Structure 1
Amino acid sequence: MNYAEDQSTLAVQVARLYYYQGLTTEGIAQELGLSRPKVSRLLAHARQSGLVEIRIHDPQEGPQKLEHDIQQRYGISQVKVVAVPPNSDEEEWLQRVATFTANHLNGLIHSEMVVGLAWGNTLDAISRQLNPKRCTNVDIVQLNGSGNVYTISNFYTSEIYSRFAQNYGARAHFFPVPAFFDYPETKQAMWQERSVLRLIELTERANLLVYSVGAAGARVPSYVYAEGYLEAKDFEELDREGVVGDIATVFFRKDGTYQDIPLNKRATGPNLSLFQQANHALCVVSGLGKARGLHAALIGRFMNELIVDEPTARALLQF
């Protein structure tokens, strides 16, 4: 057992004494032969690393009521609604959700794991709030290509995966292909290459998938809709197909269906059945413009855990 594991084990022991048995920091220090500052640092480590999650159950039925209602309506097992300050804007909501998710991930990501990530504004925000946790033999996999007609190598997306890899001492596996090919035949040919097949096989073994729902009308614009990945004819096609959102640049309609959408044949993201069948599919959403797409994604059962800000959760339940 290395130093980091020793610290985590001791932090759990301290947290149990503090939260379960009600001991003071002085009492814990005496019982374990530690200094009070050491106990305080261990408690802080337990919170920051995700070993402890503090949830406030509001008797006035705020976020917890929303969580229950979403679970009941959509049949999803885990929902976490993040409270935001009154009169705050959507940028603040995203930061609150990103900070909450970053702490939550430390309770989910551990040694000997494969984690698939779909790039975008939400994952970028999360990557900037991560709390260091050293793991061994963790693979961080890019779920979909990020190149466009201007460049095959996208610094914005590579930074997201690099931050995650550095935070967890993991290996980053980049997907050096465009977000969309010009022709379906090009994708079919690329998907026969051994290097691509290896990455797809790694994706299919992922223990955890983390992603958001993209939407064209979001107030904080989804990256793929705002940065030149789609042309006017593509937007017209998506409108004709009744598309309301995407996951990893694979599009879906308002009823949660995604089959036979022409643009998906050129998209490099995984078939959405990957998210339906995943052991742990964590979707993180913030912003009222994404509520409609989130509603469709929940109907399509593309997640089994959701983290969402409180105003968006309320908007979701209006559908």
Structure 2
Amino acid sequence: MTSLNPVSPPNAHALALQAVQVARLYYEQGLTTDAIASELGLSRPKVSRLLSHARRSGLVEIRIHDPEGQARGLEAQLRLRYPFLHPQVVSVPPGSGEDLWTERVATAAASLLSNLLRPGQRVGLAWGNTMNAVGRALTPRVISDVTFVQLNGSANDSDFVSGFVTDTILRFARNFGAGAQLFPVPTFFDDPATKQAMWRERSVKHVIGLQEHADILMYSVGSHTARTPSHVYSAGYLGTGDLKVLADEGAVGDIATVFYRADGSWQGLSLNARASGPDLSLMQSVQESVCVVSGLGKVTALHGALAGRLMHRLIVDEVTAQAVLALSEPAAPL
């Protein structure tokens, strides 16, 4: 029987030096085992044994940085901070730009909607840049007896011409072979009394009834500080005076053109009396209320929406998720 004698200290030192030499060529310079064998005058099996020794003895440490692992960790932190929330954090490549973040988040949202949707359901959609991106990421699938309902009006001079809102809603409907219920009222009324009168019209009451009985809601948060400002801010819906009033009253963002404060409250903001979007309690009551957010300019708006529990599901990129969690950190005691 052959016995294996322990390597003496000098031989162990030489073995370690040779293993480090091989490991540097393999891991740092990217040489193949064949190339290393040729360069050092060793056999290929010898090179493999030296690499194994380097790993086994701790001369080489292999660390796997799993981007999905980081995303799952952020999801756990969001659930801990906001127990009502079902978050999905989307990984993005390090150093990538916000356009790619939006693309990844939109693809995840499109996939979720396809998985959630069932025959006979109604889906309330709040139009905007993010929902436009989600619509473009959809994969065609026919689901019977589905209706997509526009959550807020879109009538203003520019969008009557551009078709931005109509195209977004219809894209969702066509993708699923579904019906579309548009909401052809002004985004903001000039006079709250005009809105109240319009809300008594049968055709308008019909759309509002569909909104209130939606099975799924999908929307984003609006912010004028986003790198690409939300459509309601960039397309002429709000004047300078409106923006000043919102700032003075503490508004930090909007959902379906209904504005809210940093604590998530929306009651008493003057512009909401003229807004066509639904009361934000709808986002609290519908169990499948899905908020889709991407971009550091939306962090404050998202933080406020989370404070008000204005969603049950959140799809967000990992960079924005990290920033929201940092903003949510409790203040250190003095």
Please classify the TM superposition score into its range, dividing by the shorter chain length. Answer: 0.7 to 0.9
Q: What TM-score, normalized by structure 1, do the two folds share?
A: 0.80
* Aligned twin of 1:229: 237
* Aligned twin of 1:287: 295
* Aligned twin of 1:68: 76
1:243-258 equivalences under 5 Å are: 243-258=251-266
Question: How far is 1:77 from its partner?
Answer: 3.3
Question: How far is 1:202 from its partner?
Answer: 0.6
Q: C-alpha separation between the residues in 1 aligned to 2:82 and 2:118?
A: 29
Q: Does 1:218 align with 2:230?
A: no
Q: What TM-score, normalized by structure 2, do the two folds share?
A: 0.76
Question: How far is 1:101 from its partner?
Answer: 1.2
Q: Secondary structure at the match of 2:116?
A: coil
| Structure 2 letter corresponding to 1:265 | A
Kept in 2: contact 1:152–1:176 (CA 8 A): no
* Aligned twin of 2:6: none
Kept in 2: contact 1:291–1:316 (CA 8 A): yes
Q: Which of 154, 168, 190 is equivalent to 1:146?
A: 154
Could you say if the C-alpha distance between residues 232 and 296 of structure 1 is closer, same or farther in structure 2, counting changes exceeding 3 Å? same
* Aligned twin of 1:156: 164
Q: C-alpha separation between the residues in 1 aligned to 2:122 and 2:113?
A: 13
RMSD: 1.5
Q: C-alpha separation between the residues in 1 aligned to 2:224 and 2:209?
A: 30
Q: Which of 100, 103, 111 is equivalent to 2:111?
A: 103
Q: C-alpha separation between the residues in 1 aligned to 2:302 and 2:88?
A: 14
* Aligned twin of 1:302: 310
Question: How far is 1:127 from its partner?
Answer: 0.4
Kept in 2: contact 1:91–1:220 (CA 8 A): no
Q: Does 1:190 align with 2:198?
A: yes
Can you list the C-alpha shifts for 1:24-57, whole angstroms capped at 9, x where unaligned? xxxxxxxxxxxxxxxxxxxxxxxxxxxxxxxxx9
Question: How far is 1:122 from its partner?
Answer: 0.3
* Aligned twin of 1:30: none
Could you say if the C-alpha distance between residues 305 and 182 of structure 1 is closer, same or farther in structure 2, counting changes exceeding 3 Å? same
Question: How far is 1:151 from its partner?
Answer: 5.6
Question: How far is 1:147 from its partner?
Answer: 1.2
Kept in 2: contact 1:144–1:269 (CA 8 A): yes
| Structure 2 letter corresponding to 1:213 | V
Can you list the C-alpha shifts for 1:123-157, whole angstroms capped at 9, x where unaligned? 00000010011111101000000111456575001
Q: C-alpha separation between the residues in 2 aligned to 1:175 and 1:213?
A: 20
Can you list the C-alpha shifts for 1:186-225, whole angstroms capped at 9, x where unaligned? 1000000000000000111100000000001001211101
Q: Does 1:316 align with 2:324?
A: yes
Question: How far is 1:104 from its partner?
Answer: 1.7
Q: Does 1:84 align with 2:92?
A: yes
Q: C-alpha separation between the residues in 1 aligned to 2:202 and 2:162?
A: 22
* Aligned twin of 2:4: none
Kept in 2: contact 1:81–1:307 (CA 8 A): yes
Query: Highest CA radius of gyration, 1 or 2?
Result: 2
Q: Does 1:260 align with 2:275?
A: no
Q: Does 1:273 align with 2:266?
A: no
Could you say if the C-alpha distance between residues 204 and 127 of structure 1 is closer, same or farther in structure 2, counting changes exceeding 3 Å? same
Can you list the C-alpha shifts for 1:44-95, whole angstroms capped at 9, x where unaligned? xxxxxxxxxxxxx949840011001011102233100000111111111001
Q: C-alpha separation between the residues in 1 aligned to 2:157 and 2:84?
A: 38
Q: Secondary structure at the match of 1:85?
A: coil
Q: C-alpha separation between the residues in 1 aligned to 2:313 and 2:111?
A: 15
Structure 1, unaligned runs of 5 or more: 1-56
Q: C-alpha separation between the residues in 1 aligned to 2:159 and 2:284?
A: 32
Could you say if the C-alpha distance between residues 310 and 126 of structure 1 is closer, same or farther in structure 2, counting changes exceeding 3 Å? same
Q: C-alpha separation between the residues in 1 aligned to 2:168 and 2:235?
A: 16
Percent identity reads 51
Structure 2, unaligned runs of 5 or more: 1-64, 328-334
Q: Secondary structure at the match of 1:81?
A: strand
Q: Secondary structure at the match of 2:243?
A: helix
Kept in 2: contact 1:153–1:176 (CA 8 A): no
| Structure 2 letter corresponding to 1:224 | V
* Aligned twin of 1:50: none
Kept in 2: contact 1:250–1:272 (CA 8 A): yes
| Structure 2 letter corresponding to 1:251 | F
Q: Secondary structure at the match of 2:326?
A: coil
Q: Does 1:165 align with 2:173?
A: yes
How many correspondences in the alignment?
263
Q: Secondary structure at the match of 1:124?
A: helix
